[in-house]
């Protein structure tokens, strides 16, 4: 089993080694230290997104859960009288992506394009969760509401 702490520890260690290497190698280049810091924090953000959405890997095939009814959690929330925290968690998870993309990539300074890339990211995460659940096993749920 590959758990969240194992992945986070090794990925963070590799990032730290890369940061040290990059700072030494490019110490005289014109890329600003602030821009590098933003890039390093983006990589760390992506490590955490992977940790929270795709791990643990269980190696227990065919343990997939699929929710294909659009706005199921909204209807369920209205019926029960509380707002589903899953929506808030997804917004918090992907909101930094909408900030990082325009900061790091000149082409993505267009709002429509940034929203499209965030949509593709969300769709990719859900699709990987589905494929992972069908092949190597997962305790994650494919949820169409997460894409919406």
Average pLDDT for residues 53-70, to the nearest whole number? Answer: 68
- Give the integer Cα–Cα distance in Å for 136 and 148: 26
* Half-sphere exposure at residue 94, Cβ-oriented, CA atoms within 13 angstroms: 21
In DSSP terms, 142 is beta-bridged to 66
Burial of 129 (0-12, 13-18, 19+ CB in 10 A): buried
Give 82-86 contacts, CB < 8 A, sequence gap 24+: 86/143, 86/145, 86/146
* pLDDT, tens digit, 9 for 90 and up, residues 87-131: 777 788 888 998 999 999 988 898 899 889 888 988 888 888 877
Give which of 74, 73, 76, 7 is closest to 46, Cα–Cα. Answer: 7
Q: What pLDDT is attached to residue 10?
A: 94
* pLDDT, tens digit, 9 for 90 and up, residues 16-35: 999 999 988 887 776 688 88
DSSP run (H or E) holding 53 = helix 33-54
Q: What pLDDT is attached to residue 38?
A: 93
Lowest mean pLDDT segment, chosen from 6-15, 67-76, 111-120:
67-76
Cis status, amide bond into 123, omega within 30 of 0: no
User: How much of the chain exceeds pLDDT 70, in percent?
Assistant: 70
In DSSP terms, 143 is beta-bridged to 67
pTM of the model: 0.77
Residue 3: both structure tokens together? 């758990």
Q: What pLDDT is attached to residue 71?
A: 63
């Amino acid at each position: 089993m590959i758990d969240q702490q194992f992945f986070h520890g090794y990925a963070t260690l590799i990032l730290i080694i890369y940061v040290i290497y990059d700072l030494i190698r490019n110490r005289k280049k014109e890329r600003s230290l602030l821009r590098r810091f933003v890039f390093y924090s983006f990589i760390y953000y992506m490590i955490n997104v992977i940790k929270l959405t795709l791990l643990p890997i269980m190696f227990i095939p065919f343990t997939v859960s699929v929710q294909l009814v659009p706005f199921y959690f909204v209807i369920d929330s209205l019926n029960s009288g509380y707002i589903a925290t899953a929506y808030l968690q997804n917004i918090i998870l992907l909101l930094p992506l909408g900030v990082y993309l325009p900061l790091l990539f000149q082409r993505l300074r267009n709002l429509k394009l940034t929203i499209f890339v965030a949509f593709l990211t969300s769709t990719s995460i859900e699709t990987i969760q589905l494929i992972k659940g069908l092949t190597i096993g997962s305790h994650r749920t494919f949820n169409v509401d997460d894409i919406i």
